[in-house]
Amino acid sequence: MSAGKIGCLVLYAVLAAVALTEAGSSIGALAIWVLLVLVVVHAVEVVVFFRLCQQAGGSLPGNMLQVFVFGYFHTIEMKAAVAAKQPG
């Protein structure tokens, strides 16, 4: 797992912890909003990178899930996989 993906997981864990432990405060509300924005942005990325998910090989649902969770960091790996499959 790349450092970027680990960073994403750490960020999600911190935001979730803040949202849960500081519920009702402005920092808790901010954490929830940031999480919601990330959900929307990553959902859009799944649509934008759908063709790349198909071309990368492996499990299409697995690639789509990883794009949803890790966003750009998974697209880097998929682009490398597609480039490695092309002759020349």
For 32, residues 6+ apart whose C-beta sits below 8 A from its C-beta are: 19
Q: Answer yes or no: is 88 within a domain.
A: no
- Name the CA radius of gyration of the chain, rounded: 16
How far, in Å, CA of 24 to CA of 5, rounded? 30
Q: Measure the CA–CA gap between 33 and 39, rounded to whole angstroms.
A: 10
pLDDT tens, residue by residue, 43-80: 999 999 999 999 998 999 999 999 999 999 999 999 99
| 22 within domain boundaries | yes
Residue 70 lies in a domain: yes
- Name the residue range of residue 43's domain: 3-81
Count how many residues are written for the chain: 88
Does pLDDT of 24 surpass 70?
A: yes
For the entire predicted model, the pTM comes to 0.88
